[in-house]
Amino acid sequence: MKQAKDTLKQIRRSPYQAIAAALAMSLTFFVASLFIILIFGGQLVLLYLEQRPQAIAFFSDETKESRILEIAKEIEATGLSKEIKYVSKEEAYEIYRERFKDDPLLLESVTADFLPAHLEVSAQKVDDIKILTEGFRQREEVESIVAPEDVVGKLANVTRTVRTAGLIFVSVLIAISFLIIIMVVGMRIALRRDEISIMNLVGATKWYIARPFFIEGALYGIIGASIATFLVYSLLLFYSPQIQNFLGPIQIFPISPLFFLYLWLAQVFAAITVGVLGAAIALYRYLRVK
């Protein structure tokens, strides 16, 4: 407890170094939080799209129901589809009526004969959508296909790119924070060199000498991670209505408070690790403490 108080006293004596270290940690984990939430949100959007029909094949009026069901079985036999749903003309008309029930003009102008029977297919994997749509295009019974395979595929690629870019960028920021911690703790060690020499003379253990600097490094990590999580939480709280409005039916918000609690705990653990390791290297460099 006394060493913790001494550490806080040392920080107050030269606050600008402490602010620089805490801000570096805050920036690092703020950016890390943003990338984590972007990846998390991208995965939710991708999951939503994967659970919806990803290929809809519309059949000509001459195609009999038995033939459409036969094609459905052939597609199912490939093992590429997760779910296949047959929608008859009558069912398509009922769906249309439900969707446009508030617009009498549209309801009057369309009958069941206008709407083609179709198959709604969900793929097992994103990469399978293109294979399924190509299979439909080769069938003469199919008049048209609606398949957002490009959208799903591009979103999957974007998610992978964000994950890779985030990992690289955050790694660079962690390295910078690490170096700042080493410099700040190293400067404090240099300022207290005489005091440390006296401690050595009176028989103080290396752990006793090193502990305040470990506490300081851990403290920078806790402060940085806490500020970062608070800023991200505040930003999402403010902008979540606009983001949800943009996403439409894809429900992402509200994000559970438990998510932010786990995020904060994970970042505090990572930040303390960075802070303590930085302090350890500074101690090794300046004091040769092992």
Q: Name the residue with tokens 């296909």.
A: 145
Strand partners, 49: none
Is the C-alpha dihedral spanning 258, 263, 264, 269 positive or negative? Answer: positive
Between 75 and 103, name the one with better pLDDT. 75
Of 95-99, 102-106, 210-214, 221-225, which has the strongest mean pLDDT?
221-225
Per-residue model confidence (pLDDT) at position 105 = 65
Model confidence pLDDT, tens digit, residues 231-269: 998 988 888 888 878 777 677 777 788 888 998 999 999
Measuring CA to CA, how many Å separate 106 from each of 80, 88, 98, 247? Answer: 37, 20, 12, 27
Say what angle helices 206-247 and 2-13 make with each other, to 10 degrees: 70
How large a percentage of the chain has pLDDT more than 70? 84
- Ordered by where they begin, the domains of the chain are 2-49+153-287 (no CATH), 63-147 (3.30.70)
**Confidence band, pLDDT 50/70/90 cuts, at residue 289:** very low
Q: Is the pTM of this model over 0.75?
A: no
pLDDT band at 45 (very low <50, low <70, confident <90, very high): confident
Helices marked H in the chain — which ranges? 2-13, 15-51, 65-77, 89-99, 104-108, 128-137, 149-191, 193-201, 206-247, 257-287
* Band of residue 217 on the pLDDT scale cut at 50, 70, 90: confident
